[in-house]
Amino acid sequence: MIFFSNPQAQYNTYKKEIDAAIQKVLSGSQFILGENVSAFEEEFARYIGVDHVIGVANGTDAICLALRALNIGPGKEVIAPSHTAVATVAAIEMAGATPILVDIDPVYYTISPEAIEQAITDRTRAVIAVHLYGQPTNMDKILRLAQKHRLKVIEDCAQAHGAAYKNRRVGSIGDVGCFSFYPTKNLGALGDGGALSTSNTTIASRVSRLRQYGWNENKISEESGWNSRLDELQAAVLRAKLPGLDADTEKRIAIARKYTESFQGLPITSPLIRNQCHHVYHLYVIKVDKRNELAKFLKNKNIIIGIHYPTPVHKMPAYSKYAPEGFLVQTNNLADRVLSLPIYPELTVAEQDFVISTIQEFYS
């Protein structure tokens, strides 16, 4: 069986470091917001190139807390792509704001700046720039729109740890960056975890309060908040894995390059890389016309694939009210054609070769 992703294999790669880090936490006396959380926040901030990182419970909370810290809530609109993980949109609702779902560009599948501009109203307060699949979105155009219309830019970096746009790591470009450390992510914990990144001290201070009941240093709630803390065990795991992130990314890039080279001449659209961007291939997503047939063929060969995403957010019953069907042409077209192939640092050469030969067999 060849898995689409394999967190167990990643644990085995870092087993010695992870086990030692966990044992050290268990031998201590502080399990919430202790030295590992503080150290990880500092180390990840240096890695991204920002002044502040604040660890939180998960990536969805990170986006919601970012909106809360920016005072974006009821009566305000936040523009986001419909072609994204539903967490992006769920977080907007959690903050009390209204999601406005827009289309993607047809080449890189990230949010379309032109669609953003068409969706802006006098109630719009922010844009969520999703760096989808590990590919940075067009930040120059988004930042120009944000400046023109006085909007905040929140980067959804849940799939893009270490990705870069014009030599700046994602999470350091907009007002706030939001990360998930779900186990399958490029930098994954052994459970849920998330973080916000920013160089704005006011935002960082407010998020630090909001993640823990709105407390100040005396545990007095200065405003209403909630419990969204990155725990010590997960922070220790992330600290153990962070030094190897770039090397793991290079393995992903090598796998992606081999896929792309092997599919030349086949009716497959392989992912393209935006100019002056560093794609980290959280997912390797191809576009094909006979997606369901290919998926079934691969499954019969014990190759597990993914589909990101078969149902756009605007077609889900909970969120269909936020986007008229006809406005999302590229999103609708893509949903029936995308297929995510196995990609993770521990994928062996033999396993990848079997995936490639099986796909070539399908088209022979």
Question: Mean pLDDT throughout 256-273?
Answer: 98
Tokens (6 digits) for 288: 């094909």
Alpha helices in 186-244 (DSSP H): 201-210, 232-241
Question: Mean pLDDT throughout 220-232?
Answer: 95
Asked, for residue 88, whether it belongs to a domain, the answer is: yes
Residue where one domain finishes, among candidates 216, 243, 270 = 243
Asked, for residue 283, whether it belongs to a domain, the answer is: yes
Measured in whole angstroms, how far is the alpha carbon of residue 68 from the centre of its chain? Answer: 19
Asked, for residue 1, whether it belongs to a domain, the answer is: no
Question: Mean pLDDT throughout 256-276?
Answer: 98
Q: What percent of the chain has pLDDT over 70?
A: 99
CA distance 155 to 178: 6
| Residue 14 CB neighbour total at 10 angstroms | 16
Closest CA to 197 of 220, 178, 223: 178
Taking the CA atoms of 186, 189, 191 and 194 in sequence, report the sign of the dihedral they define.
negative
Q: Global pTM?
A: 0.97
The enclosing domain of 332 has a CATH number of: 3.90.1150.10
- pLDDT at 112 > cutoff 90: yes
Residue where one domain finishes, among candidates 228, 243, 258 = 243
Do 162 and 252 share a domain, yes or no? no
Question: Mean pLDDT throughout 107-134?
Answer: 97
Asked, for residue 328, whether it belongs to a domain, the answer is: yes
Full 3-state SS string of 87-155: HHHHHHHHCCCEEEEECECCCCCCECHHHHHHHCCCCEEEEEEECHHHCCCCHHHHHHHHHHHCCEEEE
Convert the pLDDT of each residue in 13-24 to its tens digit.
999 999 999 999
Convert the pLDDT of each residue in 311-338 to its tens digit.
999 999 999 998 766 679 999 999 999 9
Query: Rg of the Cα trace of the chain?
Result: 20
Please tell me whether residue 306 adopts helix, strand or coil conformation. Answer: strand
Do 291 and 199 share a domain, yes or no? no
Looking at every residue in the chain, the average pLDDT score rounds to: 97
Asked, for residue 129, whether it belongs to a domain, the answer is: yes
Could you give the number of structural domains in the chain? 2
Residue where one domain finishes, among candidates 243, 267, 291 = 243
Do 277 and 339 share a domain, yes or no? yes
Asked, for residue 2, whether it belongs to a domain, the answer is: no
Do 264 and 180 share a domain, yes or no? no
- What are the angstrom distances between the C-alpha of 45 and each of 57, 79, 144, 166, 198? 17, 26, 25, 18, 8
Convert the pLDDT of each residue in 162-192 to its tens digit.
999 999 999 999 999 999 999 999 999 999 9
Amino acid at 85: A
Closest CA to 71 of 179, 203, 197: 203
- pLDDT at 82 > cutoff 80: yes
Question: Mean pLDDT throughout 153-169?
Answer: 98
Asked, for residue 189, whether it belongs to a domain, the answer is: yes
| Residue 29 CB neighbour total at 10 angstroms | 6
Asked, for residue 213, whether it belongs to a domain, the answer is: yes
Domain that holds residue 94: 7-102+111-243
Count how many residues are written for the chain: 364
The enclosing domain of 16 has a CATH number of: 3.40.640.10
pLDDT of residue 323: 75
Convert the pLDDT of each residue in 188-205 to its tens digit.
999 999 999 999 999 999
The pairing of beta strand 164-165 with beta strand 277-278: antiparallel
Do 47 and 195 share a domain, yes or no? yes
